[in-house]
């Protein structure tokens, strides 16, 4: 009887292991399909503490310059109508609001703010900015950082 009971425990454990492995495979496939892992990897590439007020001012100028470039591309290029200029402007505004609070944030919050702004400035991020959903991933990153660093600020509607 003891042998039968021990076999049952082993069989149950084996079945549980197989179910867990299957769930991991399915979860991994869903994660890969969603692109969430790429978004996180790309964001971490940019996240670091700022070098001071000069870098913050430089990032603000780069955000303004990038939005001007997006407006120009959207109005001058065939297919530019696919570029969501309003969403790009909303992300830029949120980035500048976060940068205005950078000195009051803890070091990890400062790194997250810099990472979100640099992610926005990267044209070839998870969703290319000149595509139909181009700035949706940027908005998601900024919203995520904002929820931790400045939850009182309005979220970007995506």
Write down the pLDDT at residue 98: 96
Per-residue pLDDT tens digits of the chain, which is 158 residues long: 455 444 445 555 445 554 555 444 444 444 444 444 454 555 555 555 555 568 889 999 999 999 999 898 888 766 567 788 999 999 999 999 999 999 898 888 888 898 889 889 987 666 666 666 788 888 998 999 999 899 999 999 98
85 within a domain of the structure (yes/no) = yes
In angstroms, what is the C-alpha Rg of the chain? 22
The position carrying tokens 């978004």 is 39
Q: Specify whether 72 is located in the same domain as 134.
A: yes
Residue 45 lies in a domain: yes
- Chain centroid to CA 147: 12
Measure the CA–CA gap between 133 and 152, rounded to whole angstroms.
Answer: 26
* Co-location of 22 and 61 in the same domain: no
Residues 4 and 54 in one domain: no
Buried b (16+ CB within 10 A) or exposed e, 61-90: eebeebbeebeebbeeeeeeeebbbebbeb
Q: What is the pLDDT of residue 35?
A: 47
Q: Are residues 7 and 62 in the same domain?
A: no
- Residue 21's domain comprises 1-34
| Domain match, 53 and 126 both | yes
pLDDT for the residue numbered 12: 52
List the structure tokens of 112: 């997250």
């Amino acid at each position: 009887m003891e042998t039968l009971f021990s076999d049952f425990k082993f069989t149950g454990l084996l079945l549980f292991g197989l179910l867990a492995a299957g769930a991991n495979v399915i979860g991994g496939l869903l994660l890969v399909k969603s692109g969430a892992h790429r978004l996180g990897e790309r964001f971490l590439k940019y996240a670091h503490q700022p070098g001071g007020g000069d870098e913050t001012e430089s990032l603000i100028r780069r955000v303004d310059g990038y939005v001007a470039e997006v407006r120009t591309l959207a109005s001058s290029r065939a297919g530019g109508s696919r570029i969501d200029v309003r969403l790009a402007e909303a992300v830029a505004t949120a980035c500048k609001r976060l940068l205005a609070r950078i000195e009051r944030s803890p070091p990890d919050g400062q790194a997250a703010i810099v990472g979100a702004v640099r992610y926005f400035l990267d044209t070839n991020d998870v969703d290319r900015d000149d595509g139909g959903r181009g700035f949706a991933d940027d908005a998601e990153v900024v919203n995520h950082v904002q929820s931790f660093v400045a939850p009182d600020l309005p979220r970007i509607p995506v």
